[in-house]
């Protein structure tokens, strides 16, 4: 044991002192193995199991020797040092043995790793060979598939059927006795027949080309003749201009208009054609014109030109653009909104003349990206009008055409697809842009032949001439009626603000000769203020107080009695009558909620309005209602019972003749005026 542990780790070399080093290096391998000691070689000869047993035995011996040394040291004595030294030497020998076993274990571990690495390299080499073989197999399979899927060019040719081939092909090509039984020869024969047919067609094609060239030459000759004819026609048209002016037949102007109309978008073109036709057939005073830049309209339909020849200019522009700052997100959105709301360069102007020489100017626009039409309106009169304070919005371009048809406010887009377009560019509603773009009324879309069904939306809306024609006459009449009614209201408001209720001679019979109550105030009221009035709650709850209506406050007085009348004027006046709500301040506040006679007075004005319409078109309805209100206040005050406890004359002596002062438990008063008898009775 001690001899094995005393062996050094490094190999020992036994050399003869007299021999040179070079001669010793050239000795055979067997001599080298005999002269060197190698632990790597010893590992192969030793048994790992026996080394493990030796390791356990050495550890036990070390434990025993350490215990004996500790025991000897604890006993003390003179001879103890010698024994301790002997056991120390034995312990060192055992330590040497452990060191050798440790080196052998590390060598075994290294050899095991080397063997594992060699095995892995072999496995990797085999795996690489396998992948190469699989790749070759896959490549061969692809080549096989290509060969199997190969298609000849003749398969792309649409050959005639077999029946037609054997029927039409000559025998020297068809060779029925050979091709009937051989598919390959049959295909070759069919290809020969196809080639023969194509040669014949090529000859016909050449003949057709020669005929085409002859016809083109004839066309060129005729074009030259026609082009020489155009200057002559122009000179004739110029010479006939004085005759056209004298006979009021502006053919030249109409021709120019129709030439410009070719560049209109389809909805504006439909409007132009139908309005011109209506003016020629039904209304000679209707003027139709086209405004805008024709060059810009032509540019919309030009294809974008290639800029290959302007490379130097584009490079200079790129250098300039790089120096500029990139637009912010807000600027980009503004540009997108402007592009979304872009109008067509051309617009259609309609001038609608009324009986009193007033003119309604309508300008129709087309929003190209939204596929809708808008209109701007302006009213001009023969004489300058003095605008009353309360008539400020009557002829306003924003409201003069509102609700021409019931519910058509012109604040929202009629095209359902526009809302999705607005969401992309951050537009909440079109009402924020109507002052700039115009109002997209529904009747405007119909005049342009556009219809946007909500139940079954269409992908593309096409302008329809029949739709425009079916609405043209009705809409033109409504527009004239609207202008006349607004102008009539304009004049009436000027009198009402001065406390005068104008009653025409045609309507004098509707009222008694003497009316004591008088109008002292007529002012406009904001929509919010009207909603806050306590005696208008019924109208508000019924949904009759919309934000498109006009609101006014009238004050009628007689003595100490003051009657307030809140008036709702619909934009469709006079086809839709005004609505009155009353509040009487006399001996307390009286409204329809606490006085049945006040409710009866409202009924006389609101329900029985047809008696007050007067001659058509009923433009005097509002003033007749106000005059009737003054008469009703007289009847109310004069029929009121007198308090006997109060001395002096009666404040409101009875001047109206009544058959019966009161009726029923609610003591209803006689508010119905009977003409020509001139008395009042109950309804």
CA dist 432 to 437, 439, 526, Å?
10, 11, 21
User: Which DSSP string corresponds to 267-327?
Assistant: HHHHHHHHHHHHHHHT-TT-EEEEEE-HHHHHHHTSPPPP-SS-HHHHHHHHHHHHHSPPP
Phi, psi at 63, each rounded to 5°: -65, -40
Distance of CA 383 to the CA centre of its chain: 46
CA dist 360 to 54, 153, 284, 387, 471, Å?
124, 73, 15, 17, 18
pLDDT of residue 12: 41
**Residues near 463 by beta carbon (within 8 Å), at least 6 away in sequence:** 266, 267, 269, 270, 448, 449, 450
Helix, strand, or coil (residue 356): coil
Q: What's the whole-model pTM score?
A: 0.61
Angle at 676 between CA 510 and CA 614, to 5 degrees: 25
Helix, strand, or coil (residue 355): coil
DSSP at 400: T
Flag residues of the chain having pLDDT under 70: 1-37, 241, 243-255, 302-330, 455-459, 642-649
DSSP at 357: S
- Give the separation between CA 270 and CA 250, rounded to whole angstroms: 22
Helix, strand, or coil (residue 653): coil
- Give the separation between CA 365 and CA 360, rounded to whole angstroms: 16
Q: Kindly report, residue by residue over 96-106, the tens digit of the pLDDT.
A: 999 999 999 99
C-alpha radius of gyration, the chain, whole number: 57
Cβ atoms < 10 Å from Cβ of 266: 17
Residue 367's H or E segment, with its range, is strand 359-367
Helix, strand, or coil (residue 569): strand
User: Which DSSP string corresponds to 64-118?
Assistant: HHHHHHHHHHHH--STHHHHHHHHHHHHHHHHHHHHHHHHHHHHHHHHHHHHHHH
- Give the separation between CA 222 and CA 161, rounded to whole angstroms: 47
Residue 342's Cβ-side half-sphere holds a number of Cα atoms within 13 Å equal to 13
Contact 169, 189 (CB under 8 A): yes
Handedness of CA 641, 647, 651, 656 (dihedral sign): positive
Q: How far apart are the first and last CA of the chain?
A: 146
- Give the separation between CA 584 and CA 581, rounded to whole angstroms: 10
Distance of CA 89 to the CA centre of its chain: 100
Phi, psi at 367, each rounded to 5°: -90, 110
- Give the separation between CA 573 and CA 618, rounded to whole angstroms: 9
- Give the separation between CA 152 and CA 147, rounded to whole angstroms: 11
- Give the separation between CA 41 and CA 34, rounded to whole angstroms: 12
As a three-state string, the secondary structure of 431-465 is HHHHHHHCECCHHHHHHCCCCCCCCCCCCCCCCCH
pLDDT of residue 24: 41
Q: Is 273 left (phi over 0), alpha (psi -120 to 50) or beta?
A: alpha
- Give the separation between CA 177 and CA 81, rounded to whole angstroms: 128
Cβ atoms < 10 Å from Cβ of 520: 12
- Give the separation between CA 605 and CA 181, rounded to whole angstroms: 105
CA dist 643 to 354, 557, 647, 662, Å?
57, 21, 9, 17
Nearest to 103, CA basis, from 219, 233, 231, 10: 10
Nearest to 486, CA basis, from 410, 411, 396: 396
CA dist 179 to 152, 173, 195, Å?
19, 10, 17
Contact 365, 344 (CB under 8 A): yes
pLDDT of residue 92: 94
Q: How many Å is the maximal CA-CA distance in the chain?
A: 174
Contact 91, 1 (CB under 8 A): no
């Amino acid at each position: 044991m001690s001899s094995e542990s005393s062996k050094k780790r490094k190999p020992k070399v036994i050399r003869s002192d007299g021999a040179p080093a070079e001669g010793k290096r050239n000795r055979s391998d067997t001599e080298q193995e005999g002269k060197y000691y190698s632990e790597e070689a010893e590992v192969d000869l030793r048994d790992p199991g026996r080394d493990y047993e030796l390791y356990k035995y050495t550890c036990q011996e070390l434990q025993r020797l350490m215990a004996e040394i500790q025991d000897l040291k604890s006993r003390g004595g003179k001879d103890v040092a010698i024994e301790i030294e002997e056991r120390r030497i034995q312990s060192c020998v055992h330590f040497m043995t452990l060191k050798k076993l440790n080196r052998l274990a590390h060598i075994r571990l290294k050899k095991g790793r080397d063997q594992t690495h060699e095995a892995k390299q072999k496995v990797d080499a085999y795996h690489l060979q396998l992948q190469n073989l699989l790749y070759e197999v896959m490549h061969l399979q692809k080549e096989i598939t290509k060969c199997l899927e190969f298609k000849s060019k003749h398969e792309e040719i649409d050959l005639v059927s077999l029946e037609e081939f054997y029927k039409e092909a000559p025998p020297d090509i068809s060779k029925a006795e050979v091709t009937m039984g051989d598919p390959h020869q049959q295909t070759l024969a069919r290809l020969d027949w196809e080639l023969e047919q194509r040669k014949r067609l090529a000859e016909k094609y050449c003949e057709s080309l020669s005929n085409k060239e002859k016809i083109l030459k004839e066309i060129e000759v005729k074009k030259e003749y026609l082009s020489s004819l155009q200057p002559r026609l122009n000179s004739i048209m110029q010479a006939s201009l004085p005759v056209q002016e004298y006979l009021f037949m502006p053919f030249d102007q109409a021709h120019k208009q129709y030439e410009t109309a070719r560049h209109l978008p389809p909805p504006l073109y439909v409007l132009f054609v139908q309005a011109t036709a209506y003016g020629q057939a039904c209304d000679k005073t209707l003027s139709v014109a086209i405004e805008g830049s024709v060059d810009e309209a032509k540019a919309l339909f030009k294809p974008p030109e290639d800029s290959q020849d302007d490379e130097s200019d584009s490079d200079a522009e790129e250098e300039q653009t790089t120096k500029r700052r990139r637009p912010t997100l807000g600027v980009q959105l503004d540009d997108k909104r402007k592009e979304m709301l872009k109008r067509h360069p051309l617009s259609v102007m309609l001038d609608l003349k009324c009986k009193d020489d007033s003119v309604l100017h309508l300008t129709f626009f087309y929003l190209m990206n939204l596929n809708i039409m808008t209109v701007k309106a302006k009213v001009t009169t023969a004489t300058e009008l003095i605008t009353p304070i309360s008539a400020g919005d009557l002829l306003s371009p924003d409201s003069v055409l509102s609700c021409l048809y019931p519910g058509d406010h012109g604040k929202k887009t009629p095209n359902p697809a526009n809302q999705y377009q607005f969401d992309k560019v951050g537009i909440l509603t079109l009402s924020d842009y109507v002052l700039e773009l115009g109002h997209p009324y529904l009747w405007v879309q119909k005049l342009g032949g556009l219809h946007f069904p909500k139940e079954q939306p269409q992908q593309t809306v096409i302008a329809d001439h029949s739709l425009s024609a079916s609405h043209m006459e009705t809409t033109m009449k409504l527009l004239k009626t609207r202008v006349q009614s607004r102008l009539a209201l304009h004049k009436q408001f000027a009198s009402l603000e001065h406390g005068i209720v104008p009653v025409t001679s045609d309507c004098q019979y509707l009222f008694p000769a003497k009316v004591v109550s008088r109008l002292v105030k007529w002012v406009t009221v904001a929509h919010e203020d009207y909603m806050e009035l306590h005696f208008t709650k019924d109208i508000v709850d019924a949904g009759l107080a919309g934000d498109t209506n006009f609101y006014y406050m009238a004050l009628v007085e007689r003595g100490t009695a003051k009657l307030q009348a809140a008036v709702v004027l619909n934009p469709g006046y006079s086809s839709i009558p005004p609505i009155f709500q009353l509040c009487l301040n006399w001996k307390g506040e009286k409204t329809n909620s606490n006085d049945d006679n006040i409710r009866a007075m409202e009924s006389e004005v609101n329900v029985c309005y047809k008696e007050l319409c007067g001659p058509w078109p009923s433009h005097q309805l509002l003033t007749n209602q106000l005059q009737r209100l003054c008469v009703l206040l007289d009847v109310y005050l004069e029929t009121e019972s007198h308090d006997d406890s109060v001395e002096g004359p009666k404040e409101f002596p009875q001047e109206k003749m009544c058959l019966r002062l009161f009726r029923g438990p609610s003591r209803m008063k006689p508010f119905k005026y009977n003409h020509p008898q001139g008395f009042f009775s109950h309804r």
